[in-house]
C-alpha cells in the first residue's frame, strides 16, 4: 500500500506492507483522511504516535470501506462504510483499526465529509459534554471557531441548546461561522465579552488570563489545543474567587475503552443530527495523496473553514 510517510520532518509518499487485521480488528480501504493539528506536531517530532500505532504514518481519522475482518470482529460487514479514529496510520490506502473505534458513515455524507468527521466531532462532543458538562441555556466560548474542532463544537453546542460565541481571526470567515450557530467575534478583546459558563480553548496558553477574566462563577475552561503556546501565568486567587475549573484533555493516547465510549456518545447524539441535516461537516479543501505536502502546507497556512482532507480513492 501507499502511505504518507514522515522521515526526520520530511513528508513523502512511500510503499508499505499491507496491514493485517488481528482479533477484533477490521481492515479498511481508506477513501478519505482528515488532517489535524496533531499531524503537524508529529511531523515536527513533537507528538509521537502512541504504542501500537505506526510511528511514521500520520493520520488520526479516516473513512473507507471494510475489506477484511479479524477473528471475532462482527460489528461491521465487508463492504460497510465506516469512519474511525486511530492513533496513527490513517493517511494510507489501507488501515487496521479496532472495530469499536469505528462508526457507520451516515448516508448523507460523501467521502470527503466522512473523512473529516470522526476525530473532530468526537473531540468536541467529549470536551463539551463529558469533560465540561455543558448544559442547555449555558453560554459557551469557543476559541478558534473556524477550524475542524471549532466548527464541530459550535454546532453540537448549539444543537444542545447552548448560546455560543466563537473567536475567529479571519474576518472573512465570521459570517460562515455564524451560519453554523455562533456569534463570531475577533480574538482581540474577547475578555470583554461574557460571562461564559464554559470556555473551549483550542488556541493555547496566551488566552488563559483573558479566559479567567471572562469566566462566570462556577465556570469551566477545557484546554484541548495549545498551538499558540503551552505556558501562561495564572492568578489562582481569581480562579478561586470564581470557583472555576480548568481541565485539560486529549483523545489520541486514551485506551481503547475510553475512545470507544466517547464514540458511542457521538453515535447516539451527533450522527442523528448529521443525518437530519441539523449539523454538517465543512470541508475547506481536498488533496490527493500525491499532494500530501501541499495539504499540510494548506493546513498550516490557516484561514480556512472546517477540514483539510486527503482523498485516497
Considering only CA atoms, which of 293, 230, 281, 311 is closest in space to residue 120?
Answer: 281
Q: What is the share, in percent, of the chain residues with pLDDT greater than 70?
A: 100
pLDDT tens-digit readout, 146-172: 999 999 999 999 999 999 999 999 999
Using the CB atoms, write b or e for 105-138: b if 16+ within 10 Å: bbeebebbbbbbbbbbbbbbbbbbbebbebeeeb
pLDDT tens-digit readout, 262-278: 999 999 999 999 999 99
- List Cα–Cα distances, 197 to 104, 190, 206, 222, 245, in angstroms: 33, 14, 20, 11, 10
In the chain, where the domains are located: 2-117+280-311, 121-248
CB within 8 A of 131, min separation 6: which ones?
A: 220, 222, 247, 249
Give me the average pLDDT of each 10-residue run along the chain (313 residues): 95 97 98 95 90 93 98 98 96 98 98 97 97 98 97 98 98 98 97 96 94 97 90 92 94 91 97 97 98 97 96 90
Q: Please state which architecture CATH assigns to domain 2-117+280-311.
A: Alpha-Beta Complex (3.90)
Domain 121-248 in this protein, CATH class: alpha beta
Residue 311 dihedral angles phi and psi, to the nearest 5°: -105, 125
pTM here? Answer: 0.96
Amino acid at each position: 500500500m501507499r502511505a504518507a510517510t514522515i522521515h526526520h520532518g520530511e513528508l513523502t509518499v512511500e510503499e508499505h506492507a499491507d496491514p493485517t487485521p488481528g482479533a477484533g480488528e477490521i481492515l479498511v480501504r481508506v477513501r478519505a483522511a482528515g488532517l489535524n493539528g496533531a499531524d503537524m506536531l508529529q511531523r515536527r517530532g513533537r507528538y509521537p504516535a502512541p504504542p501500537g500505532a505506526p510511528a511514521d504514518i500520520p493520520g488520526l481519522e479516516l473513512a473507507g470501506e471494510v475489506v477484511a475482518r479479524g477473528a471475532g470482529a462482527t460489528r461491521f460487514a465487508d463492504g460497510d462504510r465506516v469512519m474511525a479514529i486511530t492513533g496513527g496510520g490513517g493517511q494510507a490506502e489501507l488501515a487496521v483499526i479496532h472495530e469499536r473505534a469505528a462508526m457507520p458513515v451516515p448516508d448523507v455524507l460523501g467521502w470527503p465529509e466522512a473523512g473529516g468527521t470522526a476525530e473532530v466531532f468526537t473531540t468536541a462532543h467529549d470536551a463539551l459534554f463529558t469533560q465540561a458538562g455543558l448544559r442547555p441555556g449555558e453560554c459557551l466560548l469557543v476559541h478558534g471557531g473556524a477550524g475542524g474542532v471549532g466548527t464541530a463544537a459550535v454546532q453540537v453546542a448549539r444543537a444542545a441548546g447552548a448560546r455560543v460565541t466563537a473567536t475567529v481571526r479571519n474576518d472573512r470567515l465570521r459570517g460562515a461561522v455564524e451560519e453554523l450557530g455562533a456569534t463570531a467575534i475577533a480574538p482581540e478583546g474577547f475578555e470583554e465579552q461574557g460571562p461564559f459558563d464554559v470556555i473551549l480553548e483550542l488556541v493555547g496558553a496566551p488566552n488563559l488570563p483573558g479566559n479567567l477574566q471572562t469566566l462566570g462563577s462556577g465556570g469551566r475552561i477545557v484546554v484541548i489545543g495549545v498551538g499558540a503556546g503551552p505556558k501562561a501565568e495564572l492568578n489562582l486567587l481569581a480562579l478561586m474567587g470564581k470557583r472555576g475549573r480548568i481541565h485539560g484533555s486529549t483523545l489520541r493516547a486514551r485506551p481503547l475503552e475510553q475512545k470507544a465510549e466517547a464514540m458511542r456518545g457521538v453515535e447516539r447524539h451527533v450522527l442523528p443530527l448529521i443525518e437530519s441535516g441539523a449539523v454538517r461537516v465543512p470541508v475547506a479543501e481536498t488533496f490527493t495523496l500525491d499532494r500530501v505536502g501541499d495539504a499540510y502546507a494548506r493546513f498550516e497556512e490557516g484561514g480556512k473553514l472546517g477540514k483539510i482532507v486527503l482523498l485516497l480513492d
